[in-house]
Amino acid sequence: MKPSPRIRVRCASLLIAAAAALLPAAASADTYTQTRYPIVLVHGMLGFGAIGPVDYFYGVPAALRSGGALVYTPSVSALESSEARGEQLLAQLRQLQAAYGYRKFNLVGHSHGGPTARYVAAVAPELVASVTTVGSPHTGSPVADGIQALAEATGLTRLVAAIVDALGVVISWISGASQLPQDALGSLTSLNSAGAAAFNTRFPQGAPTTSCGQGPASVNGVRYYSAGGTSVVTNILDPGDAFLALGAAFFGGQANDGLVGRCSSHWGMVLRDDYGWNHLDEVNQALGLRNLFASDPVAFYRSQANRLKQAGL
């Protein structure tokens, strides 16, 4: 027996009402990371946007998109000066603006991606809503200082640079960005103490006002945030931990993530500088391996996106 028209209408009304009741919860769950402006994840030295299905920020783009964020993962030179990488990033942002009409972007940079993003914010603040740096050597890295001193003392600077440049070429090629130039010496000069100090003099926006302190939270309409880790060997299954343990030897006991010191990671508003992460854990690499008791890096990026959302960015 078919239901009467009145019963069918009643059932349809109940289904519509039930769906409407579920909509607020679904909307709330799906918009946690839905920022006003797109999020642009900027990789560090020897990094890449993505190699096949593997993002440099491992698992982060998908997690941000699942909460409603619009995310881009551009590739800049794996090895270059902060200014050169910044110009490459700026060109890509302008292309996105021209193609889609975006007014501004939220830049999130890891390691050398931090100064890269800062450069763009300094020279084109009208394009940038915020800059978040994670594990960035804003005052330089003792590892870069040590490598430079050792290479110069042995007369192997150019040979080492040529070998590292070749590595940069390979990384850029397999990530689909073979057109990008590589300059290991440019990277080294940007990331050592002297180079970082010179860069900060030219582009001081967000610089800490006290030693190991915080900087202004907003400069020229751009919000500045920073975070970093202070662990080194966090998972014995992660092959990168051995390399970072060697890097930690250059810090003389200073808290660091294997490549960047705790205070060097400070820029703008310091969200936290002592996460239980090493330099690779900060972007959830390698493939998510980290200390089981440490904070989830992916959750950090989601919470930062929500912070930007709450700030209207």
Is 257 among the catalytic positions? yes
Given the residues 257, 264, 273, 281, select the one marked as catalytic. 257
Asked whether the beta carbons of 125 and 220 are under 8 A apart, the reply is yes
Is 266 among the catalytic positions? no
Given the residues 43, 110, 266, 279, select the one marked as catalytic. 279
Phi, psi of 122 (to 5 degrees): -75, -40
Is 241 among the catalytic positions? no
The span from the CA of 195 to the CA of 210, in Å, is: 20
Count other C-beta atoms under 10 Å from residue 96's C-beta. 17
Residue 164 DSSP SS3: helix
Q: Tokens at residue 236, please?
A: 């014995």
Residue 273 DSSP SS3: strand
The span from the CA of 61 to the CA of 41, in Å, is: 8
Given the residues 82, 111, 130, 264, select the one marked as catalytic. 111
The DSSP string of 5-25 is: HHHHHHHHHHHHHHHHHHHHH
Asked whether the beta carbons of 105 and 127 are under 8 A apart, the reply is yes
Active-site amino acid positions: 111, 257, 279
